[in-house]
Amino acid sequence: MNQPAKATTVTIIGAGLGGIALVANLGLLGYRLRLHDRDEARIARVRERGGLDVEGLAKGFAPLELVTPQLAPAVDGADVIVVVTGSHFHADVARSLAGVLRDGQSILLIQVAPAAPSSCAESCARPAVAPRST
């Protein structure tokens, strides 16, 4: 990311411990954040609050511009998409992303448990995603 935090939109996919930790840290740094989790119960309170109250070594409020169980609006226009799910969900997430990714978006896959990361790359490479020209 070669642009200032306030100009960078980051979508976090997965509202488990890892995803919430990223939201807290990136939010305090000033990134524009979106949070997606298909489990409405995991994200309802965060959406109601409009972000997270962060306590610990760093303190403050980490605002989110969007919290949604719908993937397409969460990734639409995002500069960076960070997938923070259990590895057993990676293939499903990749298949879902394949239809909504746009040229120029970067994906960071954080592997929560051992799995073959190539499954994500293979699923994202389906024809719904145009290959980048160099």
> Which residue, among 125, 22, 87, has the nearest Cα to 35 in the 3D structure?
22
pLDDT digits (tens, 9 = 90+) for 12-49: 999 999 999 999 999 999 999 999 999 999 999 999 99
Whether residue 129 is predicted with pLDDT greater than 70 in this model: the reply is no
Asked if residue 68 has pLDDT above 60, the reply is: yes
CA distances from 98 to 113, 125, 128 (A): 22, 7, 6
DSSP for 81-128, written as a single string: EEEEE-GGGHHHHHHHHHTT--TT-EEEEEESS---THHHHHHHTSTT
115: left (phi over 0), alpha (psi -120 to 50) or beta: beta
pLDDT for the residue numbered 123: 54
CB 114 within 8 A of CB 88: no
User: Could you tell me if residue 107 is left (phi over 0), alpha (psi between -120 and 50 degrees) or otherwise beta?
Assistant: beta
State the burial class of residue 110 (Cβ atoms within 10 Å of its Cβ: 0-12, 13-18, 19+): middle
Q: Which two tokens stand for residue 46?
A: 């965060």
pLDDT at 127 over 60: no
Q: Which H/E stretch holds residue 22?
A: helix 17-28
CA 133/CA 48 separation, integer angstroms: 41
Single-letter code of the amino acid located at 51 = G
What's the pTM value of the predicted model, to 2 decimals? 0.81
